[in-house]
């Protein structure tokens, strides 16, 4: 997978303020406000920044957390992980493997078969409906 690298000013010119704040500056959209929180449409969720395939609607579920939740990425190498110690918590950050966009976090309290809950900001996703 070819890596995409751009300066903050390049990203700022291509993204909305909310997209830039979440995807590039690691902000979080307020719970229950994202356009995909309750979405049940079929398709592929892609990275807002680079279009990389991230999640399938087949793995999306309602976790009640206030953010779109998935139990696994569409491909093992679609996302990457980093330890996140911000806000006095230790979590696992989920990022786009192609452009390093901040997507959200993954927790080990999800459904079978993986037991994972990928809690993802809607603003970091673009749904390609099928």
pLDDT for the residue 62: 95
List the catalytic residues.
119
Give domain status of residue 113, yes or no.
yes
Print the domain residue range for 37.
8-129
| Phi and psi, residue 89, nearest 5° | -120, 155
Give domain status of residue 1, yes or no.
no
Give domain status of residue 111, yes or no.
yes
pLDDT for the residue 127: 98
Give domain status of residue 3, yes or no.
no
Give domain status of residue 26, yes or no.
yes
Tell me the C-alpha distance between 43 and 56, whole Å.
Answer: 6
**Average pLDDT value for the chain:** 96
pLDDT for the residue 57: 98
| Phi and psi, residue 65, nearest 5° | -80, -20
Q: How confident is the model at residue 92 (pLDDT cuts 50, 70, 90)?
A: very high
Number of domains in the chain: 1
Here the CATH number for the domain that contains residue 120 is 2.170.150.20
pLDDT (mean) for 82-104: 93
Give domain status of residue 39, yes or no.
yes
pLDDT digits (tens, 9 = 90+) for 20-53: 999 999 999 999 999 999 999 999 999 999 999 9
Give domain status of residue 107, yes or no.
yes
Residue 1: is its pLDDT beyond 80?
no
């Amino acid at each position: 997978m070819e890596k995409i690298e751009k300066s903050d000013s390049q990203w700022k010119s291509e993204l909305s303020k909310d997209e830039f704040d979440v995807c590039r500056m690691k902000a979080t959209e307020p719970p229950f406000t994202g356009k995909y929180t309750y979405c049940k449409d079929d398709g592929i969720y892609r990275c807002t920044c680079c279009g990389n395939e991230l999640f399938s609607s087949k793995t999306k579920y309602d976790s009640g957390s206030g953010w779109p939740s998935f139990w696994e990425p569409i491909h093992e190498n679609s996302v990457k992980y980093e330890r996140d110690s911000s806000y006095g918590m230790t979590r696992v950050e989920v990022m786009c493997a192609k452009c390093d966009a901040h997507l959200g976090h993954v927790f080990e309290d999800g459904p079978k078969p993986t037991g994972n809950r990928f809690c993802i900001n809607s603003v970091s996703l673009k749904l390609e409906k099928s």
